[in-house]
Amino acid sequence: MTDGAEVGCRQADAGVTRVFELFGKRWTGLIVATLMSGGAHFAELRRAIPGISERMLSDRLTELAAVGLVAREVDEGPPLRVFYRLTEGGEAIEPALRELGRWAETYLPDGGECPQRFRA
């Protein structure tokens, strides 16, 4: 049995907290995963991620650029087009995302329900 004061001092890892503050937002992980296969123009990203609105895609790309995971390059028009690609920091998360994908295949094969064999 643990002391109540000890439980009150328990905290999540600061690095993990920062990761989930960013990647816990809807669509962020899908955007990065889509860009892992190479850069894309805004319209291409919009088509590659069904269900995301233009506004949400724009907001998430702005956030990812602000933290240095995505680079934004403007192709002067006409028409004006914006190209996005992962930076070195964005590319560095690829192994972790691929591992999460493998984990999901094992533990979340039924659309999010943990298989009976893995339940406590």
What pLDDT is recorded for position 47? 96
57-103 tens-digit pLDDT: 999 999 999 999 999 999 887 888 999 999 999 999 999 999 988 88
Return d(Cα 43, Cα 9) in angstroms, integer. 47
Q: State in words which class domain 27-118 has.
A: mainly alpha
Q: What three-state secondary structure class fits 72?
A: strand
Domain boundaries, the chain: 27-118
26-44 tens-digit pLDDT: 999 999 999 999 999 999 9
Please report how many Cα atoms fall inside a 13 Å half-sphere around the Cα of residue 95, on the Cβ side.
3
